[in-house]
Amino acid sequence: MTTMTLWIAWLRLVKQLRPACKRDRTFWWMTLVLAGITVRPERAGITSLVRVLRLKPVAYHRLLHVFHSEAMDLERLTELWARLVLKICNPLVVDGHLVCLADGIKIAKEGKKMPAVRSLHQSSDSNSKAPYIMGHSLQAVSVLVRGSGAHVAAIPLTARIHEGLCWSGTRRTLLDKLVTLFCSLTDVWTQPVILVADAYYASRKVIIPVLDSGHHLVTRAKNNTVAYRPPVQPKIRRRGRPRIYGDKLSLRDLAAEIEEFSSAPSPVYGENDVEISYRCLDLLWRPVGRLVRFVIVHHPKRGTIYLMTTKLDMMPLDVILLYGHRFKIETGFRQAVHVMGTYAYHFWMKSMIPIARRSKGQDLQDATTRYKKQVRRKMKAYHMHVQLGCIAQGLMLHMAIQYRRMVWRHFRSWLRTMDPARPPSELVVAYVLRDQLHELFAVLARDPRAEKILNEYGAPEEVRQDQQVA
């Protein structure tokens, strides 16, 4: 079995996204973009794709057109990718529910003619991060899949820019937009989903729509959260409205009752020989007006953590385990930024009114129809670049899990933290596929439509010589 199998398997999966393109030529250009994002060693926008694929300079404008083309359906592409992930991967299932992760990411953008760029505040304990930046604010959703042994990976599904533009007088919050994005993905699947998110999403605006859609939420509660016991109804009905809430309780006070806690080994991945104490209570939470399961955890290193879930029959250790997987979406963001270049787009809008420094966004209510159309076209290009980056990263994670031994065997470099018993990172997969990039051109040359593009725009002499040698 040779590395050629990796590119054949990769291309076989990409072909299942063909219905998102109206023309064959568009599909093959999309395939080249996905291959370029997968193997490029730099994150210099479209220029890096031209260099790594060794195309002619004239191909720059053709690649740029891919992201703006009306022949590619963004929503259809997202739907096909969501279906494909469950088809090719082994999803993590808890009590019959799939597990998704949600979080936001802020990407610095200095372009004054880029729609949706606005002033963003990023709270962090790191001195290397500026408190305010100009950039794009995105929200993303990933799904957890199983690898070999106890390994769990987060496959990115999609990400969208959710701040910076006001199209009408009705202003939707980030929570509303995240729920809409999440439900658009879950509508594709037949199984219910457990959404895992941080404390920012512990809100009525998220919980109620998620429950109404048949799904559940696992999140972290704030340390000043209060809840209520279910009311004790008297045997003899009195006048007036029955009580809705019982005794008021503070989670801080409940965390101080050490005698009510149980001890168990930590279920979180990577925490060996760590014993935690936890307490589980089903209490009424006023923002949603219904019972919610709270899990209070005393961790020997992380201190006291307050978790909550809308799934009342979920075991406390499962709640802790699922929230422990939330960091995987953060790891995915890091790989997307520093390895994949998912958010390294630089598409400017020539006719756009320049954005002022410290701008809070662009109000398009009074803009002309033509101007709005131009902004929508540019926003689609941003989202298409991000979506293709998510697909490329997801395919690399699948290759790392499914072809772990083959990838490590053909990895011709060295890492201090190499562990062939575990699936390799996206960086290792990129090294292997980049080293055998000429084999991709050999596979594409078998299709006459793809070969026509290569003959017209790419495959210089050195690439053709490599193909002949192979």
Burial status of residue 348 (CB atoms within 10 A of its CB: 0-12, 13-18, 19 or more): exposed
pTM of the model: 0.92
pLDDT at 469: 44
* Dihedral sign, Cα of residue 413, residue 415, residue 416, residue 422: negative
Query: What is the full per-residue pLDDT of the chain (470 aa) written as tens digits?
Result: 444 588 999 999 999 999 999 999 999 999 999 999 999 998 888 999 999 999 999 999 999 999 999 999 999 999 999 999 999 999 999 999 999 999 999 999 988 899 989 989 877 666 667 788 899 999 999 999 998 777 899 999 999 999 888 887 677 899 999 999 999 999 999 899 999 999 999 999 999 999 999 999 999 999 899 999 988 877 777 777 878 888 999 999 999 999 999 999 998 887 888 899 999 999 999 999 999 999 999 999 889 999 999 999 999 999 999 999 999 999 999 999 999 999 999 899 988 888 888 888 888 888 899 999 999 999 999 999 999 999 999 999 999 999 999 999 989 888 888 888 889 999 999 999 999 888 888 888 888 999 899 889 875 555 445 544 44
pLDDT at 304: 93
Give tens-digit pLDDT for 275-332: 999 999 999 999 999 999 999 999 998 899 999 999 999 999 999 999 999 999 999 9
pLDDT at 415: 86
Give tens-digit pLDDT for 158-177: 999 998 888 876 778 999 99
pLDDT at 464: 45
Domain ranges of the chain: 4-79+369-469
pLDDT at 220: 94
The backbone torsions φ and ψ at residue 28, rounded to the nearest 5 degrees and listed phi first, read -70, -30
How far apart CA 411 and CA 408 sit, in angstroms, is 5
Burial status of residue 21 (CB atoms within 10 A of its CB: 0-12, 13-18, 19 or more): buried
